[in-house]
Amino acid sequence: MGAGMKGMYVILNSSYQTVQALPAPAGSSMIDMHEFEVLEGGQRALVIAQKAQLLDTNPIAGTVGAMWVLNNGFLEVDMMTGGTVFEWWALDYVDLGETYTVPPRGPGTFESPWDFFHLNSIDKNRDGDYLISARNANTVYKISGSTKEVLWRLGARTSTFQLEGFNFSKQHDAHFRPSGNTSGTSISLLNNAAHDDELGSTSAVLLFSLDESTMPFTARLEQKWSRLDGKVSRTRSNAQFLDNGNVSANWADRGYINEFTADGRCVLEAPWLSGRFNNYRAFKANFAGYPSEPPVLSTHAYGTTLETMTTVFHVSWNGATDVASWDFFGSLAGSPADVRPVGSVTKSGFETMHMAAGLFRMSYAEARDAHGVSLGRSPITNTTIPPAVLDLLGKISLPATPGAPPSAVTSPLTESRYSTSSDAVDTPRVMYDVLSTPYAIAVLSMIVLACFLRKFLKCRSLRLRS
C-alpha cells in the first residue's frame, strides 16, 4: 500500500465470513499489508503502519532541500479494543543513510514518498523484544520492547555482527527460532538475494545462530534451503518451519513452493500453472473450508438435432476443501419434478466437467465428501441450448408438468424467451432466436453479398484505370 491508501485486517471463520476486523488504530495513519501476526491466542496482533513525512534530507548525498519520505513503523494492538499497546517508528531510530535505495529526483509528493526502509515483517520473542526486517536497508533489527532502542543490526554495512559464511539482501520474513545454545539466539529469514550486485545468486531460506557472548558479535550459518529451480525471487516470499521438522518455502513467483526435509531434500515442488499471478506468503496447515454460498453449475448442450444432443456440466465450489465427488441430476422435460440422476464423477481440480448423452434442459449438482456424505448442492440451472434446437423445441408438444394448467405444455425455456418479465427473459437466447429466423438470415446474406460486390467492382475499376 502507498502512503495514501487505507485498509484493514480481517479474521475469517471456516465459512469465510468475517468474525473480526481491525482498522488502522487512531493516530497511526495508514496500515500496511505486509504483516498481520496474531499473538496470545487472538488477544494481540503485530501490524505495520506507515505515514508520509516531509523531511530535510540534506544528509543524503545528491538531494537538495526537503523531501517526502515514507516512515515505516510497527504496532502491537489489542484485538479486543483496537488500542495500541506498543508503537515504533523507523525515522525516530534509524538514519536515512542506512538505506540501499537511491532517493528520487525532486521532493516527491505525499502520495508517492521515498520508501527508504520498507519494513516487511515483525516477530516478538518471550523477552518482549521485537525482530523486524527492512528490505530497503538489507538489514534485520532487534528492537527493545521496553526502551524502543535498536539493540542490534544484522546485515549490510551497519551490522553489529560479523557474518560468517553468508550474507543476504532484500530479505523477507525474519523470525526468532528456538536455539540449541542456551546463551545464543537463532534467526531464520528468506534471503531474496535480489540486490543489484547479487543477481547471480539464488534465493534461499537461511537459518543461522548469533553469538553475543564476546565482541565482536558473530552470526554463523547453520542451514540453507535454496530455491530448487535456481532462480531469484525479486520480491515477496516467506518460509515456514513445520512441526515435523520440514521447511516450506514460498518463492512468490507464480506461487512457486518447495518443501524440504531438515537435511535439505526436496519433497514438494509446486508452481501455479498460470504465469500471470504471484502471491505474497503461503502457509501449510490443517484446514477445512465450508463456504456459506452453494456450488456453481453451468450446463451447455451441443448438437444439431435432439437425437445427437450432449449435455456438458461444469461445476465448482470455491473454498470447499472436502469435496471428493460430484453427483449430477437433470431433467429431459425441463421440469423439476422430472429430475433424475445423470452421473457421478470424482472431483477434478477446481472445476469438474461431466458429459451426458441427451438434452437435459434443467439440472443441478450435489457435492459429496470421501465418505459419501452430502455437503451441499447447486441451485437448479437451465441449460444453454443451441438456437436451432430451441426453434425445434418450440414446435414440439411436451408432457404436461404434474399440477400445471393445460396451457403449460411447451418447453419452459421456450416460454421464458418471450416472457415480458425481466426475471424470465434470457437475453442471449432471444438474440440467437432473432438471428436464426429466415428473415434475419436473408438480410445477413444480402449484406455479405453487397460487401463482396462492392469490393469486386472497386478492384475492377482500378484495373481499368491502370
- 80 and 225 fall within a common domain: yes
- 107 and 203 fall within a common domain: yes
pLDDT above 50: residue 99: yes
pLDDT range class, residue 416, cuts 50, 70, 90: very low
pLDDT above 90: residue 103: no
Of 205, 238, 270, the residue at which a domain comes to its end is 270
Q: What's the mean pLDDT when you consider all of the chain?
A: 83
- 159 and 100 fall within a common domain: yes
What pLDDT is attached to residue 263? 92
Q: pLDDT tens digits for 246-264?
A: 999 999 999 999 999 999 9
What pLDDT is attached to residue 29? 64
Q: What is the mean pLDDT of residues 344-354?
A: 97
More confident residue, 46 or 447: 46
209 is a domain residue: yes
pLDDT above 60: residue 460: no
Q: Residue 247: give its domain's CATH number.
A: 2.120.10
- 195 and 321 fall within a common domain: no
What pLDDT is attached to residue 310? 96
- 362 and 459 fall within a common domain: no
Dihedral pair phi/psi, residue 186, rounded to 5°: -115, 140
- 456 and 410 fall within a common domain: no
What pLDDT is attached to residue 464? 43
pLDDT range class, residue 444, cuts 50, 70, 90: very low
pLDDT above 60: residue 286: yes
How many structural domains compose the chain?
A: 3
- 261 and 329 fall within a common domain: no
pLDDT range class, residue 465, cuts 50, 70, 90: very low
- 159 and 13 fall within a common domain: yes
- 123 and 256 fall within a common domain: yes
Highest mean pLDDT pick, 104-118, 146-160, 169-183:
146-160
Note down the domain range covering 66.
8-270
pLDDT above 90: residue 179: no
More confident residue, 6 or 34: 34
Alpha carbons within 13 angstroms on the beta-carbon side of residue 98 total: 21
Instruction: Report the distance separating Cα 409 and Cα 403, nearest Å.
Output: 12
- 454 and 331 fall within a common domain: no
- 234 and 317 fall within a common domain: no
- 137 and 116 fall within a common domain: yes
285 is a domain residue: no
pLDDT above 90: residue 211: yes
282 is a domain residue: no
393 is a domain residue: yes
